[in-house]
Structure 1
Amino acid sequence: MQNTAEFNCAYCGEPNTTFIDLSAGMQQAYIEDCQVCCRPNHLYVRIDEETLDIEIDSEYNG
């Protein structure tokens, strides 16, 4: 099962949409390029088990 969620790019601050694979676990980390400036963001994803609310933190990848 997949959902989408938004994060702000750690470099340019622009909003981005990403797909979240809910079957991959309640805590995930991966790198995704910004859709605006193309720089890599390290994403930390947390999913609430009861409500399936998604929180994403983005950091510089470096």
Structure 2
Amino acid sequence: MELNEQNIGCPYCGETISVLIDRQEAGTQYIEDCQVCCRPIVFQISEDMSSNLVVTVCCEDDVV
């Protein structure tokens, strides 16, 4: 398991939080609560053309 630390901005409260992302989760989507406001953040994990992890976050209501 290869964990990568990423800083993301909570789409609800705007606080920057640090999360650990497992490279094996690339291509998946999951929900994790904000460490500050406790609201559910949707994480979408992917890899770019150079195999770098790309973490996109959004509000639960924004998921299509």
Name stretches of at least 5 consecutive residues in structure 1 with no aligned partner. none
AA aligned opposite 2:54: E
In 1: Cα distance, 2:44 partner to 2:54 partner: 8
User: Per residue, is there more helix in 1 or in 2?
Assistant: 2
TM-score, length-scaled by structure 2: 0.74
AA aligned opposite 2:23: L
- Relative contact order (alpha carbons < 8 A, sep ≥ 6): 1 or 2 greater? 1
* Aligned counterpart, 1:45: 45
Deviation at 1:36, TM superposition (A): 0.9
In 2: Cα distance, 1:44 partner to 1:27 partner: 7
RMSD of aligned Cα (Å): 1.7
Percent identical pairs in the alignment equals: 33
